[in-house]
Structure 1
């Protein structure tokens, strides 16, 4: 589904055209991770890019962290920064082909990079990848949709149409702790997977 974008993303990393990359973990996700109690959680970061979230988790005792990305360069970047990060937890593949199951999925600038026509497929896929009682949490951009992305914007109401069929909405609100350039443009969310019928 996204294979045609593989070269696009590889080139962005090779040419260092990664404007979404803030060079560190974003504050809303750091604050969320800081209150997680169970370090045995199996966690996935889809479209993880340079994966500062994975690095932060790993350095704080979460050893079952996985990253999937269609581009190989950012996975290598993470491995270079964190040599102990398990090779088997770095998945160089299309997110939509990934097959494992997780307790928690963290969303950070992957959803907004997807072509809008596959947003509903993303919501369905994360539901498939989560264990019963699994959760997805993270950030979605809250600004007017544009066709000239990525990033492609969107609204809370639009996002709910994709996630509501599969998830109970626990938290979905404007971020109070965004970095200054993203102030007022981010929504923090935490959704719990609905019981499978």
Structure 2
């Protein structure tokens, strides 16, 4: 498969997602090991234990949108797996680019729909912005969209999965991308963690599962807009 991969290293949340954060400790209790299950993630949303949630679009996403380098045009489609409250979905969407936000947790999807509707109402709802995105509650590993995507954006999704699930993650990315598509993964390079999520992650972890599928890494860049606590895990 000849899909291009663009890896952007960095972070962008206010708090470090490691064991020193009490919310992360509680997250790990609720998730129970990082296996892909809606129950644990639903409990997190219901209890308000969402340390990954910035409450606004990821700074790097905003920068990418403003750069004008993202694909856009007739019927250009984008997928954001593990979209949570959907801030990045809305930020990426616009004329010429339809974005699907996917999450296994229905509670998160309902919140995403509410927040995006409120944002559209605040803007008087006159620009048709809600027609540029949609939210789907389903399992990334089994969901079958009608056609593959031009672009997939992954952030705090890879590192949230148990490492044993990473080959399956890569396979699904390959299946869900068009042959000429791109995967942008904003890597959260956690280390020194005895548990997860987020699990210890290196650039090599991405290469080991993507390269065998013919997914070629074309760029690795430092994210200059990352919030300081997320740049380094000690």
TM-score normalised according to structure 2 size = 0.71
Moved more, 131-140 or 168-177: 168-177
Structure 1 residues 147 and 96: CA distance shift in structure 2, 3 A:
farther
Find out whether 1:127 has 2:174 as its counterpart: yes
8 Å CA contact retained: 2:101, 2:134:
yes
Moved more, 26-35 or 121-130: 26-35
- The whole-number CA distance in structure 1 between the counterparts of 2:168 and 2:104 is 17
Task: Map residues 1-150 of structure 1 onto 2, 5 A cutoff.
Answer: 5-34=37-66, 35=68, 36-40=70-74, 41-58=76-93, 60-61=94-95, 64-83=98-117, 85=130, 89-100=134-145, 101-144=148-191, 146-150=193-197
8 Å CA contact retained: 2:35, 2:161:
no
What are the ranges of 5 or more consecutive residues in structure 2 without an aligned counterpart? 1-33, 118-128
1:81 deviates by: 1.7
8 Å CA contact retained: 2:89, 2:101:
yes
- The whole-number CA distance in structure 2 between the counterparts of 1:63 and 1:134 is 14
1:150 deviates by: 0.7
1:61 deviates by: 3.3
> Residue 181 of structure 1: SS of its match in structure 2?
helix
8 Å CA contact retained: 1:145, 1:154:
no
Structure 1 residues 85 and 97: CA distance shift in structure 2, 3 A:
farther
- Alpha-carbon displacement from aligned partner over 1:25-55 (angstroms, at most 9, x marks no partner): 1112222232225154200000111121112
Q: What residue in structure 2 maps to residue 169 of structure 1?
A: 217
- The whole-number CA distance in structure 2 between the counterparts of 1:153 and 1:29 is 23
Larger Rg: 2
- Alpha-carbon displacement from aligned partner over 1:81-117 (angstroms, at most 9, x marks no partner): 222646x932211100122211000001111111110
1:174 deviates by: 3.0
Q: For the aligned residues, what is the CA RMSD?
A: 2.3
Structure 1 residues 160 and 63: CA distance shift in structure 2, 3 A:
closer
Q: What residue in structure 1 maps to residue 200 of structure 2?
A: 153
Which one scores higher on RCO, CA 8 angstroms, separation ≥ 6?
2
